[in-house]
Chain A
Amino acid sequence: MAGDKPADEAPRALTPEETKARKRRNLMIALGLVAFIIIVFLVTLFRIGENITQWGGL
């Protein structure tokens, strides 16, 4: 078929260990992103809190 890759460019099938390692890697990246989102959320809350405190002092 014209769209097929040549045999020497076909992706190698992953072993079960490699599939596990890839899942672990994806999980770690996802956890990293979630942690980052939580930190940004908390920093935003902190900033808003600071601003509210400043308005209260006016």
Chain B
Amino acid sequence: MTASAAHTPDRRAVPAATAGDYLALMKPRVMTLVVFTAFAGLVAAPADMHPFMALAAVLAVAMGAGAAGALNMAYDADIDAHMRRTRLRPVPSGRIAAAEAYGFGVVAALLSVALMALATGWLAAGLLAFSIFFYAVVYTMWLKRRTPQNIVIGGAAGAFPPVIGWAAATGTVGLDAVILFAIIFLWTPPHSWALALYKSGDYAAAGVPMLPVAKGAAETRRQIMVYSLLFVAMALAPLLTGLGGLVYGAVAVAGGALFLLLAWRVFRSRAGEAGSAAEGALYAVRAGDKCARDLFAWSIAYLALLFAALIAEHGFGLAWPLAGGV
């Protein structure tokens, strides 16, 4: 029996599920970033796509992301119930049964892959299927509870969307698509560990071996600095291949400098030393952990700006090439 199966809240004591609960099951905030990066990959790819087919492809990615979120929430209900940040989710709170969430996730996954195959082809559909499998099985079921490197390896799941968008538009996966994958892959560790630094008490209570819990705050701050350097360097790579032009370059350089400054402040701080904040809200932090909160917040904004710059250059003609031409 898995730890997940052991979590059986008394569903008779809570209100029946609403449509909003099913929306929450699909992790809409995560889905938004996934759809945004997939759309950026689709727009930046050197191929024309009929707008309706592009819309169908983006819808398939959104459904796939929602399916992966539902499967993750179903399996993690037991640990989510122990964390202030997640205990009100539909499954741990008992409004939706884990079995229903599994069923919803599997059906949504199958429909999303079928729609992608029909709209664009088997390469994008295969990548979508693999990314759902990677997030729901490799990350959620195998890595998350076993290793502090969970989000490093599992981060690949979140890095797939721009590649899927690229494959949907072109039918291939080129060097630029791999660069977009690498940008998100290297972004995930400093982003997730910045949050984990000031929420390590939550993870410890749930028994999840996030890096601050397993290796301590100092080692986490050191690894955040290392991955931040790698990430910011990779964010400049589109300038070398011509994928990014002047707008992207300005965002990548200025935003990257701020990212490194914030990561340096975290590295030099004692963030995460005294456990997590006592408050329940996501952004509630102790004074000593504020630099970690700042890095977490800027990491989301910076990634969004990088991909927004690509959309602006390739989708709205704001392209002033720096290298090989956009």
Contact = CB atoms under 8 A, between A and B. Distances in A.
Interface of A: 11-12, 14, 18, 21-22, 24-25, 28-29, 36, 39-40, 42-44, 46-47
Given A39-B115, A43-B118, A25 B17 contact: yes
Contacts of A12: 12
Contacts of A43: 52-53, 56, 115, 118-119
Contacts of A14: 16
Interface string B1-45: 000000000001001111101100000000000000000000000
Q: Is the interface of A mostly helix, strand, loop or mixed?
A: helix
Nearest to B112: A36
21 contacts: A18-B15, A18-B16, A21-B15, A21-B18, A22-B16, A25-B16, A25-B19, A25-B22, A28-B19, A28-B22, A29-B22, A36-B111, A39-B115, A40-B115, A40-B118, A42-B52, A43-B52, A43-B53, A43-B56, A46-B50, A47-B118
Nearest to B115: A40
Most chain-B CB neighbours within 10 Å: which of A18, A39, A44?
Answer: A39
A51 B16 CA distance: 48
Nearest to A36: B111
A22 B22 CA distance: 12
A34 B17 CA distance: 21
